A and B are shown apart, each in its own frame.
Chain A
Amino acid sequence: MTDTRLSDLVQAMNEGRINRRQFIQWALALGVSLPALALGPGAGAAPASPPRVPSSRSQTDATTLIIADNLAGNWITLDPARIYEVNSQAAMNVVYECLYHLPDSTKADQFEPLLAEAMPDVSADGKVVTIKLRPGVKFHNTGNEMTSADWIYSWNRLKAVADNPSFLAEYVGTYEAVDPLTLKLTLETPNAALVPILAATPLSVTDSKAVMEQGGADLTSAGTPEAQGTIDFMTKQSAGTGPYRVTTWDIETEVVVEAHADYWGGAPKLQRIIWRNVGDPNTQLQLVQTGEIDIAYAVDPDKVAEVEADPNLQIFQAPTLNLDYLAFNTSEAVGGPLAKKELRQAIAYAIDYDGIINGLSGGASIRPATMIPLGLLGTEEVKDLAYKPDLAKAQELFATVGGPVELTLTYGADASSSNGVSLDVLLAKIQADLQKIDGLTVKLNPMDQAQRLADFRAAKIAFTFSGWSADYPDVHAYAEPFGKTGGAAAKRVNYSNPQVDALLAQGIGELDPEKRKQTYIDLQKLMIDDAAFIALEQPIDRKPASKAVQNVTTHSIYMIQLRYASKTA
């Protein structure tokens, strides 16, 4: 039986010309087996979505947006004091609000006031910051009016519960309420990244009265245990000012947020947004193709062409701020020969970056020069200084190390890179690339990811593959952990460069944007030369969606910008 005859049958049934019983009879008469049905139209080279028949059982309409995501694997909570997951930022962005936000992450320096009335008023010495709050903002769960006391409570709580995001509270210095609509922050040193930090979702405002009614103590000291009842309330409901509030929280099935009609910015265009728990990207795509959902969170690189060819679909895409990188321990004791800069540089020259980006990742990546993603301050200016494949140069540098070298490249078993490429495949390629250097042998060492992380964090691994994602969209969010002596990532490889430290101190306190940019350019040049880390790729996020979805973009921090989302019927 040919594909055409089968598709004719399917079409006839979908159009109501034959019923299911007749369909089966015909199909059996024509000798169709189940596998043949599966391998029928669409399974081969000519992809074609099935007819988009509006389903009577689906509640999809112009007021409901449905997104498929692996909730069970990637979501834990929307509590601002505890959230540190990536995917759930899409919901966080429409449920809780910060003083400032970044509407479009492709314009990474264009922050706008959200619950602040204007950009902050900074004193001449840069240490005192006064922020006027937007009046008339109400919490969506109680209708209580937002005041500066709520901000003080929220930030105190962030510090006190001492969960993953609590470090962000350290950046805002000491804070006080000047009046119900004014906050005053006093910093030890000027902080040029303050606005991006204040846009990080854990620093959003929570309805203090509602939390305290649920048993939340007036938390003042770090590590104060919070009652499970408060944690449950903050997990299963919401107490923010955002345009949507959580009405269903069940990450094994779905999370639903409903519009807040009394929202200070005017009622949102959608009535509700639903996240469905669907783990497999191919199934997510099938759900979009059949019209059962509107947006798929992920897509396999080899399905992108199919989406682009489908007239009913669109694809949202933009670079993330995630990085996949190689790290070398620069101490003699742990890194051995890797303590020599020349060996690290030789490795950087031996890698076929284009093969990784275009071959393995299907072109869904870009590559910065060092551990600061493209799009952030001063990165375009050093982009061309990135290491490029040059085997002769690699061999020349390797010769200065002296003698054959054997390295062990450690990575998390069963893990994948930020854009879904199996690490077994990716690192086998890197192994092959590196062994083109005469005298260099690389052994791969896949190990339990939790154990690898523990060892890496304890600076016990000589050579490893790892990943990093943004805490807040500013150059300092990467330059500090990777560049500063004792920084969160730098200490794992014992990296230290006093010149980089000095530039970091200068950069964070420099309030003039042009001077600040030059500081980070200089700093990146030093980091490129030191080669303690090699940035392999910065993935481009791609999300297939129905053409009915409008005013939605991917976002490097919120993952999907849903604040302005709407749908046509």
Chain B
Amino acid sequence: MGLWAYIGRRLVLAALVLIMVSIGTFLLSHAVPGDPISAIIGERQADNPEVRAQFERRFGLDKPLPLQYAYYVRNLLRGDLGLSISTRQPVVEDLQQFVPATIELTIAAMIFAITVGVPLGIIAAVRQNRWPDHLTRFIALIGTSVPVFWLGLLFLYVFFYRLRWLPGPGQLDPGMSRPDYVTGMVTVDAILARDWDALRSVLRHMVMPAVVLGSFAMGIVARMLRSSLVAAMSDDYVRTARAKGLVERRVVAGHALRNALIPTVTVLGLTFAGLLTGAVLTETIFSWPGMGQYAVKTAIKLDYPGLLGVTLVIAVTYVLFNLLVDVIYGILDPRIRIS
């Protein structure tokens, strides 16, 4: 099967997965005991049927459940995810704001994880069982075992509060206007608008959350790459490469690394998806206006439309990244045939 046919087939399957996810989430969220109106109605109006009816009508909760789902699917196909009960804004507008912020933070975290994790992994493998290896193991251990909330608070304390090298929580400096919305990612929008002050500000604000969020992935990448590189270095083709008289740098970079990267890419793909959907603590500590905070808020308030929107984004993310990883597999190792 050709690559494009494979991608097409996977996309059709992805659509089915998303339909199942939407039904599953819809039923599960409505099966949870609790009444979303109770969470938002004021103490004085709790028994006022007129106010309750107004809220139910506004959030589409006044119809029987099957009809609510039918409306939900109909609106979904029109690109309308309904009105969020917690923010009282259209869910699509909320997601348009929060998802790009999370994506840009996750990309920054992954850049950190790769640029630090890959060299550490290589150094550890090449200098196996010597002090660079031990140091890398220590750094990786810290990255994977230190809780994100603790690391986040520690970074804020040290780099913002004590040393003042980096700004405090938030995405931009106080009072600074966001560049005009194009992609929703402030870094990209600032470049497009040539707003260099905003770009500088968002980059400075991004350093700490990106490092904190990426520290776990960095540790995983370093450890994973080290072990697969160590295994690859003792393979026959590496011995052949050395026998040909290649310098060690080319043996590692040109031959062993390429093969050793395959399991790392799998992990990276799923870690990226995990970071995208699991940045709740980092976003909360650094007041980063991303999807994680939104997800928590919608869950607490039993905000069905918001919760469904978040779940769909997460499902799409996982489906896409699984696909992406499979495609990259084939590119890295042409022997792997897609079937």
User: Does the CB pair A37–B289 fall under 8 Å?
Assistant: no
Which of B35, B41, B51, B172 has the most A CB atoms < 10 Å from its CB? B51
Flag B33-44 by CB within 8 Å of A: 1 or 0 each.
111101111111
Cα distance, A112 to B169, chains bound together (Å): 39
Residue interface bits A27-56, CB-to-B below 8 A is 1, else 0 = 000000011011011110000001101010
Question: What distance in Å separates the Cβ of A329 from its nearest Cβ neighbour in chain B?
Answer: 16
- Name the distance in Å between A235's Cβ and chain B's nearest Cβ: 7
Least distance between A295 CB and chain B CB atoms (Å)? 12
The reply to whether A276 and B174 form a contact with Cβ atoms under 8 Å apart is: yes
Does A552 reach chain B (CB closer than 8 Å)? no
With known contacts A223-B50, A457-B47, A488-B43, A450–B168 Cβ distance under 8 A: no
B129 at the A interface (CB under 8 A): no
- Interface size, chain A (Cβ < 8 Å): 77
In chain A between 153 and 188, which residues have their CB closer than 8 angstroms to a CB of chain B? 161-167
Q: Give Cα A318–Cα B102 distance, bound, in whole angstroms.
A: 39
Please, which residues of chain A bring their CB within 8 A of the CB of B309? none
Cα distance A471–B201 when bound, in Å? 41
A488 engages B38 (CB within 8 Å)? no
Instruction: Decide if A451 touches B33 in the complex (CB within 8 Å).
Output: yes
Report the minimal beta-carbon distance from B285 to chain A, rounded to whole angstroms: 7
Interface size class of B (residues with CB under 8 A): 35 or more
Task: Please determine whether B54 and A253 come into contact, CB atoms closer than 8 angstroms.
Answer: no
For A73, the closest partner residue in chain B by CB is: B297
Q: When chains A and B are docked, how far (Å) is the Cα of A163 from the Cα of B54?
A: 7
- Interchain CB contact under 8 A, B41 and A164: yes
A278 is an interface residue with CB less than 8 A from chain B: yes
Shortest distance from the beta carbon of B175 to any chain A beta carbon, whole Å: 4
Residue of B nearest to A481 (CB): B44
Is the CB of B177 closer than 8 A to any CB of chain A? yes
B174 contacts A162, C-beta separation under 8 Å: no
Q: Are A252 and B174 in contact (CB under 8 A)?
A: no
Is B134 an interface residue, CB under 8 A from the partner? no
In the complex, residue of chain A having the shortest beta-carbon distance to the beta carbon of B171? A253
* A416 interface residue per 8 A CB criterion: no
A425 interface residue per 8 A CB criterion: no
A454 and B34 within 8 A (CB): yes
* Contact of B58 with A235 in the complex, beta carbons under 8 Å: no
Contact assessment for B162 and A37 in the assembled complex, using a CB-CB cutoff below 8 Å: yes
Chain B stretch 122-178: residues in CB contact (< 8 A) with chain A: 153-154, 156-158, 160-165, 167-178
**Contact in complex: A72, B293 (CB < 8 Å):** yes
The answer to whether A274 touches B293, judged by C-beta atoms less than 8 angstroms apart, is: no
Is A17 positioned at the interface, with any CB of B under 8 Å from its CB? no
Q: Is B287 an interface residue (CB 8 A)?
A: yes
Residues of B within 8 A of A163 (CB): 51, 54
List, in ascending order, chain A residues with CB within 8 A of B57's CB: 223, 225
Q: Judge whether A277 and B289 touch: CB under 8 Å.
A: yes
Q: When each residue 451-490 of chain A gets 1 if its CB lies under 8 Å from chain B and 0 otherwise, what string results?
A: 1011001000000000010010000000001000000110
Q: Restricting to A292-317, which residues have a CB under 8 Å from any CB of B? A: 292-293
A289 to B51, CA, bound (A): 44
Q: Which of B54, B161, B289, B302 contacts A289 (CB 8 A)?
A: B161
- Collect the chain A residues with CB atoms within 8 Å of residue B154's CB: 34-35, 38
Stretch at the interface among A121-129, A279-287, A345-353, A358-366: A279-287
Other A-B contacts than A161-B54, A278-B287, 10 sampled, CB-CB below 8 A, are: A59-B174, A59-B176, A164-B41, A167-B45, A235-B89, A278-B168, A283-B156, A286-B156, A450-B34, A454-B34
**A to B CB contacts below 8 Å, 27 in the list:** A10-B163, A34-B158, A40-B162, A76-B88, A82-B88, A164-B51, A167-B45, A223-B50, A225-B57, A250-B178, A251-B87, A252-B293, A252-B294, A253-B170, A253-B172, A276-B174, A276-B287, A278-B287, A286-B156, A289-B161, A290-B160, A448-B33, A450-B34, A450-B36, A453-B46, A468-B43, A488-B47
Q: Lowest 9 CB-CB distances: which A-B pairs, in order?
A: A252-B289, A164-B42, A450-B39, A454-B38, A162-B54, A59-B175, A457-B46, A84-B42, A286-B161
